[in-house]
Amino acid sequence: MALNTEFNLGTESDALFNELLQAHEGLSREQSEQLNAGLILILMNHIGEAGTIREAVVCARAALDA
Amino acid sequence: MARYQFEPFDYVTPPELSGAGSASAPIIIVGAGPIGLAAAIDLATHGVASIVVDDNNVVSVGSRAICWAKRSLEIFDRLGVGERMLEKGVTWKLGRVYRGDREVYNFDLLPEDGHKFPAFINLQQYYVEQFLVERCADFPDLIDLRFRNRVLSVGQDETGVAAEIETPDGAYMLRGEYLLACDGANSRIRRQFGLDFEGRHFEERFLIADVEMDADFPSERWFWFTPTFHPGQSALLHKQPDNIYRIDLQLGPDADPEEEKKPENVIPRIEKIVGGRPFKLDWVSVYSFNCRRIDRFVHERVIFVGDSAHVVSPFGARGGNGGMHDVDNLCWKLARIVTGSAAPDLLESYNHERVHGADENIRNSSWTSRFMSPEPGIETAFRNAALSLAVDTPFARRVVNAGRLSVPCQLTDSPLNGRDDDVFDVPQKVGMVALDAPLSDRDDNATWLMSQLGGRFVCLVTGEAKAPAELPDGVELVRIGRGGFGDAEGRVQERYGDAVYLIRPDQHVAARWVAPGAADIRAALTRCAATITA
């Protein structure tokens, strides 16, 4: 499964983005980092394909602000 | 239970200095630790003589390597000490991982039956060395053990090697065809050769202690992340014979080794773990570790084996076990080379296969070390996320890394491998060590498949497969089923199917066929053994 970089979130994308932010509300920086790490691990396991996950890491790193 | 009694080995003036002439053996082995001793015995089983020199005259002080994996036990069994080790050792296969005082995960390292040896035993290195020294005495014409013989320097040319050796009676020169540097992590020979020991040093310090106590802890490996008895750090508990328990405590990077080793600092820490039981301190050490290897393990006629070639962190039991893989891989090749039946370039396959094995061990132990001692910030965030998810989320238990314990190295990409007719739905593949299975012999006595393999090339024929009409010289037929050994519990069928296997002297599968002819076996043998044909 190649990484899907086309839009795939239907009508829920704005809601989901907002819910991500809400999930971090009231957390310390450390807790926030742990929440993000946990989310990544859960989603990585759900995807379950090493190639796709590696592509995602490359894609995200390539998009880092200078 | 009596503690181990350390008996020094006798120093004997070597014949070169006593006027009794000079001894001669094709192989010089430097270092009489588990690896050097095992190599001497393995070579002797092939009829090849060695002289083993060691600067010390006593077995390892302190338990050091204690966890011996199933594969190492199979090798030790081939060398004649496996059953003795099994009898003395503490057998275990279950590991438990705790966060705080709560178990988050446990793993069974050998969930299936039908193997002679268990997943692991714990046995102090001093026992292993003692058993090996005693086994060496069974080969008085082939193994010449010389204690308090220190190697000063090693030289070599196209014809052989020479070692300058110092003894209480003076110095002498020893010559041979090949030299095995089994002189450990601080190898003097490696330094003399100026070889880069590349890799990573971990700053984290650990306290390691053996304590003697009467306790009924089960025979399991217990690992704690941030236990209440040792806040913010990790801890590991292993049971050894003679009521000795091994305790590893992470101390952080800033700990002062000399301070931490003092009994007044060690004892309160251990009291917290053992909960008020009386105990005696047997041995204490503070260490940090490295994950490193040299670029090549073969330098012409000087061959690096075990810790002199590669070192890892201790949390996967991959140091001593990795070294035993080296011995197993090297000795049959070297024996064939010095007896003239194989070309010297067979040694290159030792380099190839064991660099591959060392990299696997370094990779695994480095990953564990990083999980156990994450950098502050995002590394800690990922580590703690995995640990806290593990309590209720099954997948995360497998992400938690408290040690990936030594498993047999797979030589899937070895240049020695021949054909693999991989049409069988069985776990055995070419490049893997052969899987053990219970057998019955013609008199219906119970035996094991592994006991029929090793030490020479074997053509293993299983189930309904047909044995080739003839076999090349030096290949012995082992038949399971159809008039051969009985497949006592059906495990051979389950693990091997109906096929013909060529098995190396180190019990690895070199090739597999559905129905080979004699020429197929011969071709695979020539490829694997670099056979010199007359």
d(CA B513, CA B501): 7
Residue A55 lies in a domain: yes
Provide the residue type at B382 as one letter. F
Number of helical H runs and strand E runs in chain B: 14, 26
Q: Which tens digits make up the pLDDT trace of B380-407?
A: 999 999 999 998 999 999 999 999 999 8
Q: φ, ψ for residue B376 (rounded to 5)? A: -60, 160
* Closest to B507 in 3D by CA, of B345, B342, B327, B346: B327
From A3's Cα to the closest Cα of chain B, the distance in A is: 22
Which chain A residues are Cβ-neighbours of B386 within 8 angstroms?
Answer: 37, 41
From B390's Cα to the closest Cα of chain A, the distance in A is: 10
Which chain A residues are Cβ-neighbours of B399 within 8 angstroms?
Answer: 41, 45
Lowest mean per-residue pLDDT among A18-22, B20-24, B90-94, B276-280 = B20-24
* Closest to B128 in 3D by CA, of B312, B306, B369: B306
User: Residue A37 and residue B384: Cβ atoms within 8 Å?
Assistant: yes
User: Residue A36 and residue B381: Cβ atoms within 8 Å?
Assistant: yes
B375 touches chain A (CB under 8 A): no
Q: Which residue has the tokens 């041995």?
A: B283
Supply the pLDDT for residue B65: 93
- Give kind and range of the element (H or E) at residue B393: none
B438-529 is classed in which CATH architecture? 3-Layer(aba) Sandwich (3.40)
User: Residue A41 and residue B389: Cβ atoms within 8 Å?
Assistant: yes
What is the crossing angle of helices A29-47 and A50-62, to 10°? 140
B399 touches chain A (CB under 8 A): yes
Interface mutation target, options B371, B380, B382, B401, chain A, most CBs of A under 10 Å: B382
From A34's Cα to the closest Cα of chain B, the distance in A is: 4
Q: Which tens digits make up the pLDDT trace of B62-84?
A: 889 999 999 999 999 999 999 99
Residue A53 lies in a domain: yes
Which chain B residues are Cβ-neighbours of A33 within 8 angstroms?
Answer: 377-378, 381
User: Residue B386 and residue A41: Cβ atoms within 8 Å?
Assistant: yes
Classify each residue of B350-386 as buried b or exposed e, where b means 16 or more C-beta atoms within 10 Å of its C-beta.
bbbbbbebbebbbebbbebbbbbbeeeeeebbbbbbb
**Domain spans of chain B, in order of start:** 15-89+122-196+293-353, 438-529
Of all residues in chain A, the one with the smallest CA distance to B377 is A30
Q: What distances in angstroms separate CA B91 from CA B88, B131, B166, B240, one per listed residue?
A: 9, 18, 41, 9
Residue B200 and residue B286 in contact, taking contact as beta carbons nearer than 8 Å: no
B396 touches chain A (CB under 8 A): yes
B321 alpha carbon, distance to own chain's centre: 2
Report the residue count for chain A.
66
Residues of A with CB under 8 A from a CB of B: 30, 33-38, 40-42, 45
- In this complex, the residue of A37, A42, A45 whose CB is nearest that of residue B382 is A37
Domain membership of residue A45 as a residue range: 29-66
User: Residue B384 and residue A36: Cβ atoms within 8 Å?
Assistant: no
B378 touches chain A (CB under 8 A): yes
Of all residues in chain A, the one with the smallest CA distance to B393 is A42
Supply the pLDDT for residue B1: 47
Q: What CATH number was assigned to the domain covering residues B15-89+122-196+293-353?
A: 3.50.50.60
B382 touches chain A (CB under 8 A): yes
Q: Which tens digits make up the pLDDT trace of A27-48?
A: 999 999 999 999 999 999 999 9
Computed over every residue of chain B, the mean pLDDT equals: 94
Which chain B residues are Cβ-neighbours of A42 within 8 angstroms?
Answer: 389, 393, 395
d(CA B200, CA B158): 35
> In the predicted model, what is the mean pLDDT of residues B140-155?
97
Q: Which tens digits make up the pLDDT trace of B305-358?
A: 999 999 999 889 999 999 999 999 999 999 999 999 999 999 999 999 999 999
Residue A3 lies in a domain: no
User: Residue B385 and residue A41: Cβ atoms within 8 Å?
Assistant: yes
Q: Does the structure's ipTM exceed the value 0.90?
A: yes
Supply the pLDDT for residue B2: 60
Domain tally for chain A? 1
Tokens of B46: 């092939």
Q: How are beta strands B221-225 and B198-212 bridged, if at all? A: unpaired
User: Residue B385 and residue A34: Cβ atoms within 8 Å?
Assistant: yes
DSSP-based three-state secondary structure for B51 = strand
Q: Which tens digits make up the pLDDT trace of B227-258?
A: 998 988 999 999 999 999 999 999 988 888 88
Residue A43 lies in a domain: yes
Residue B462 and residue B496 in contact, taking contact as beta carbons nearer than 8 Å: yes
Interface mutation target, options B371, B384, B401, chain A, most CBs of A under 10 Å: B384
Residue A4 lies in a domain: no
B534 pLDDT above the threshold of 80: no
User: Residue B388 and residue A34: Cβ atoms within 8 Å?
Assistant: yes
User: Residue B388 and residue A30: Cβ atoms within 8 Å?
Assistant: no
Residue B399 and residue A41 in contact, taking contact as beta carbons nearer than 8 Å: yes
